[in-house]
Structure 1
Amino acid sequence: MMRAWILPLLLVVCGALVAATLAVRGFAGAAVPLLVLFVLLAGLHSPLAFPRSIGAAETQRRSALDGRPVVHWRAGCPYCLRLRIRLGRDAGRLHWVDIWRDPSGAAAVRAANDGNETVPTVMVAGRPHTNPDPVWVREQLAPRPRT
């Protein structure tokens, strides 16, 4: 669980050190925006930028009931962040599993990716799709006509 917060914490600490150095040297006007930038980057790379994660078993159960895709992700992954940002509000309609918090989710990703923890891995109808295009993922949320 702590592993997900290492990069955001490093960003905040580094930003604080750089900002403090600038402030001590008399560049307080540059220190504040720089610190804000580092804090924003830390927020984007933290678990807070993603919808609440639930366990892999629960997401499989929910996906079987409502047919929505399951996204396996981890904090600090630029491709996961890209998917999350591009999905916008639609991200809340997906089921999210943080593989660093859920060992069974990590195992599912390794099984789908030849032993690698490559994320984002999106499960649609039980089939894995590694690093799919966000437009394609959004299309999977569209209601399907009943036949």
Structure 2
Amino acid sequence: MMRVWILPMVLVLSGAVAATGLAFSGSSGAAAVLLVVFVLFAGVNSPLIFPRSISAVEAQRRSAVDGRPVVFWRPGCTYCLRLRIRLGRAAHQLHWVDIWRDPAGAAAVRAVNDGNETVPTLVLAGQAHTNPDPAWVRRQLFPGT
């Protein structure tokens, strides 16, 4: 569970060290800007920007009931982040499974990606789509738009 926070913590720590160096050299304004940039980048790479993750078993159960797609993702994945940002508020209509928190989710991703943990992997109507185009996902969520 802690490994999902490693990248954000490293980013904040790196930003703090770099900002401290700038502050000691007399550039307090630049130090503040640099620290804010690192904190924002850490936030974007943290699990906080994604909807709350559930287990793969729960996601599959919910998907069977409501027909919504399941997205397998992991923190730090730029393609997952791109999908999440491009979906906007519609991202809350999907069931998100963090494969670093759920071994069953990681196993499900490996099963459909030749043993690789390639994310994002979207499962829609029982069919897996690896790294789908966000525009295509939006069309699947909102047909006719």
Alignment TM-score, normalising by the size of structure 2 = 0.97
Give percent identity, aligned residues only: 72
- What letter corresponds to residue 12 of structure 2 in structure 1? V
Matched position secondary structure for 1:101:
coil
1:51·1:92 contact (CA, 8 Å) conserved in 2? Answer: yes
Quote how far apart the aligned CAs of 1:3 are.
Answer: 1.1
- What letter corresponds to residue 5 of structure 1 in structure 2? W
Distance 1:120 1:88 in 2: 16
Q: Are 2:34 and 1:34 equivalent residues in the alignment?
A: yes
- What letter corresponds to residue 120 of structure 2 in structure 1? P
Q: Which runs of 5+ in 1 are unaligned?
A: none
Corresponding residue number in structure 2 for 1:44: 44
Distance 1:142 1:83 in 2: 15
Post-superposition Cα deviations, 1:95-134, rounded to whole Å, max 9, x if no partner, equal 0000000000000000010000000000001111000000
Corresponding residue number in structure 1 for 2:16: 16
Distance 1:99 1:37 in 2: 27
- What letter corresponds to residue 45 of structure 1 in structure 2? N
Corresponding residue number in structure 1 for 2:142: 142
Runs of 4+ in 1 over 4 A off after TM superposition: none
Quote how far apart the aligned CAs of 1:140 are.
Answer: 1.6
Q: Are 2:100 and 1:100 equivalent residues in the alignment?
A: yes
Q: Are 2:2 and 1:2 equivalent residues in the alignment?
A: yes
Give the paired residue count: 144
Corresponding residue number in structure 2 for 1:126: 126
Matched position secondary structure for 1:115:
coil
Distance 1:111 1:140 in 2: 23
Quote how far apart the aligned CAs of 1:142 are.
Answer: 2.3
Q: Which runs of 5+ in 2 are unaligned?
A: none
Corresponding residue number in structure 2 for 1:86: 86
1:109·1:116 contact (CA, 8 Å) conserved in 2? Answer: yes
Matched position secondary structure for 1:61:
helix
CA RMSD of aligned residues (A): 1.0
